[in-house]
Amino acid sequence: MIDIHNHILPEMDDGAENIQESIEMARKAVEQGITNIIATPHYYKGKYDNDKEKVEGQTTKLNQVLSDLEIPLKVWPGQEIRISDELLKEYDNNNVMALNGSKYMLLELPSSHVPRYTERLIFDLQMKGITPIIAHPERNMEIMKNPHLLEELIWKGAYSQITAGSITGKFGWRTKRFSKYLIHSGLTHLIASDAHNIGNRGFQMREAYELVEKNMGQEVVDAFHVNSENVLYGMKVKELFV
């Protein structure tokens, strides 16, 4: 199993506080059946200045520790990038990166709304060969009220990723119900943990996939798995038909 959104790198953001916590998270990931993680610390200028170079350095260090401990998990570099009108400049300056240096970029919207420049930004990124993935749209207040906003971004070429805990009900029944709706409507393409720790923001990937399997069938689960693999290796993500 591949997890494309995760805060396992130590001392970067509100995820793992230190290397010990990263190791504990890695052990939990393996228990869940996860073999590969794209580490996506927040990149939010002025708050979390985790630029590409820093992420790559920390990823290399963590992989070395995991290998020394014989924990069978491979970590790849990425970022969860808070959108801003400076993002293209940040990309040109090599501060922000696509997931594992592929063509997919994980974007975080504010939780309360969808900024009006988002559509334009998605277009501009695609002009640079980057395909945006909207992180956890099911937790965005404005999208919850008006799913058409997400639909427009998907039509314009973006993909979206639902958080496993949203599917299991960790973020409440409204988010759970909305997640189901997004999968059924073909408005999402990926499931990831967005794990921050081993406590209240753990993985829940296995539990989420079990629920998807129960409600929507093994084919849908397989399609999600294939898409995660395609993101990791920069191949084409496919639409889901539920």
- DSSP, collapsed to helix, strand or coil, labels residue 210 as helix
The yes or no reply on residue 21 touching Fe ion (CB under 5 A) is no
Q: Give me the least distance between CB of 21 and Fe ion, in Å please.
A: 16
Q: Between vectors from CA 42 to CA 206 and to CA 95, what angle results, nearest 5°?
A: 130
Task: Name the closest residue to Fe ion (Cβ).
Answer: 194
**For residues 184-213, which are near Fe ion according to CB under 5 A?**
194
Q: Give me the least distance between CB of 44 and Fe ion, in Å please.
A: 11
**Can you point out the beta strands (E) in 123-208?**
131-135, 159-163, 190-192
Q: Give me the least distance between CB of 14 and Fe ion, in Å please.
A: 9
Backbone phi, then psi, for 66, in 5-degree steps?
A: -65, -40
The yes or no reply on residue 80 touching Fe ion (CB under 5 A) is yes
Q: Which stretch binds Fe ion (CB under 5 A): 75-83, 118-126, 164-172, 228-236?
A: 75-83
The length of the chain, given as a count of residues: 242
**For residues 24-53, which are near Fe ion according to CB under 5 A?**
none
Q: Give 131's strand partners.
A: 104
- DSSP, collapsed to helix, strand or coil, labels residue 37 as strand
Q: Give me the least distance between CB of 68 and Fe ion, in Å please.
A: 27
> Looking at beta carbons only, is 51 or 213 nearer to Fe ion?
51
**For residues 145-164, which are near Fe ion according to CB under 5 A?**
none
The yes or no reply on residue 138 touching Fe ion (CB under 5 A) is no
Q: Give me the least distance between CB of 219 and Fe ion, in Å please.
A: 28
Query: Burial, 132: exposed, middle or buried (Cβ in 10 Å; 0-12, 13-18, 19+)?
Result: buried
CB 159 within 8 A of CB 130: no
The residues binding Fe ion (CB under 5 A) are 80, 194
